[in-house]
Amino acid sequence: MNSHLHRALRAQRLRAQETSGSSLIEVLVAVAVTMVGFLAFGRSMTESLQLGEQNRQIGLATAAAQRAVEELYAADFAQVFALYNAEPSDDPDGSGTGPGAQFVAEGLEGANGADALGTISFPVAANAPGELREDLNLAKFQPFDVDLDGVTDANDHSADYQVLPVRVQIQWMDGRAQRELTVETILGRKQ
């Protein structure tokens, strides 16, 4: 009987050792699965924060572009081109008195850590920023009849435009790459 009891106790100890061994493997697998889950969660949180920052920047750029367009709509239509083109010598109140073609996009970082700049542009030739043209086939402007006479010509229409195609563009750095937002509209005379 003693040997029978001795064998039973020994068998029970062996089963206990086998059970604790497989429990250790189960614990290691559970820890590994949990670690993978935590790593995936951490990565998704990081990406979520990055997307949040990108959305914030796009919101700032959109607000800056909207302010610029509203400023154009609020200005005297006959003077919009002269006030906001890249030629300071044609500003209505004297050379360099108009707002010009560039504006600061607040809250956004430009190249070299400076404030990001927005640009207002019209269909003009690169060598003549004070001449509003109808005939240009630029990437940003297609030929457009700005004086509404039914003819698209190569004349300067800075004094007789009836509609005015405008592009507002903002470029900024998001830490990794350059980003850009472009808004295009057509201004017209108010009746």
Mean of the per-residue pLDDT values for the chain?
87
Q: How many residues does the chain have?
A: 191
pLDDT digits (tens, 9 = 90+) for 98-121: 999 999 999 999 988 889 999 999
In sequence order, the β-bridge partners of residue 170 are 118, 181
Overall average pLDDT of the 75-100 stretch: 95
Q: Is it the case that residue 21 has pLDDT exceeding 70?
A: no
According to the model, what pLDDT value does residue 37 have?
86
In this predicted structure, the answer to whether residue 51 has a pLDDT above a threshold of 80 is: no
Say yes or no to pLDDT of 154 above 60. Answer: yes
20 vs 113, residue with greater confidence = 113
User: What average pLDDT does the segment 152-163 reach?
Assistant: 94
Q: What is the percent of the chain where pLDDT is above 70?
A: 86
CA-based diameter of the chain, in Å? 120
Name the pLDDT band for 189 (thresholds 50, 70, 90). Answer: confident
Whole-angstrom Cα distance, residue 25 to residue 32?
11
| Residue 129: both structure tokens together | 């920023």
Give CA–CA dist 123/157, Å, rounded: 10
Contacts of 81 (CB under 8 A, 6+ apart): 122, 132, 158, 161, 164
Which pTM was predicted? Answer: 0.74
C-beta separation of 101 from 120 below 8 A? yes
